[in-house]
């Protein structure tokens, strides 16, 4: 399980950073739809009437929340596809 968490964290961070780079390099692409968790978080924090968001802070929150979102999705997939041991074979700790 610990290796699954490390793999999911690493892949979630890589996906989030790549999506942020693609968003900066190309506009009006489907990659923007994959970043909705970060967009929603920024909109909730600053709101439509909250003034301009600090660029660096909003980018860190944006990428961080996307990394958490995609990391959790990858963790769910890894736990779903990993083989399970039958409960009768789990050693009992006394």
Residue 19 lies in a domain: yes
Position 7 in a domain:
yes
Regions of the chain with pLDDT less than 70: 1, 85-92, 94
92 within some domain: no
Query: CA-CA distance, 88 to 10, in Å (whole number)?
Result: 33
Q: Does residue 38 contact residue 58 with C-beta atoms inside 8 Å?
A: no
Write the CB contacts of 46 (distance below 8 Å, at least 6 apart in sequence): 52, 53, 58
Q: CA quadruple 31, 36, 37, 43: dihedral positive or negative?
A: positive
Q: According to the model, what pLDDT value does residue 3 have?
A: 81
The residue range of the domain holding 47 is 2-84
pLDDT digits (tens, 9 = 90+) for 69-79: 999 999 999 88
pLDDT given at position 93: 74
Whether 80 is in a domain gets the answer yes
**Looking at the 3D structure of the chain, how many domains does it have?**
1
So what's the pLDDT on residue 35?
A: 85
| Euclidean distance between CA atoms 2 and 8, whole angstroms | 10
């Amino acid at each position: 399980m610990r290796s699954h968490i490390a793999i999911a964290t690493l892949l979630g961070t890589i996906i989030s950073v790549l999506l942020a780079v693609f968003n900066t390099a190309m506009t009006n692409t489907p990659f923007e739809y994959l970043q909705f968790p970060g967009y929603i978080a920024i909109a909730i924090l600053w709101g439509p009437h909250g003034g301009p968001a600090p660029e660096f802070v909003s980018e860190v929150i944006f990428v961080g929340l996307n990394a958490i979102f995609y990391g959790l999705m990858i963790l769910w997939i890894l736990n779903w596809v990993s083989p399970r041991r039958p409960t009768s074979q789990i050693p009992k700790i006394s």
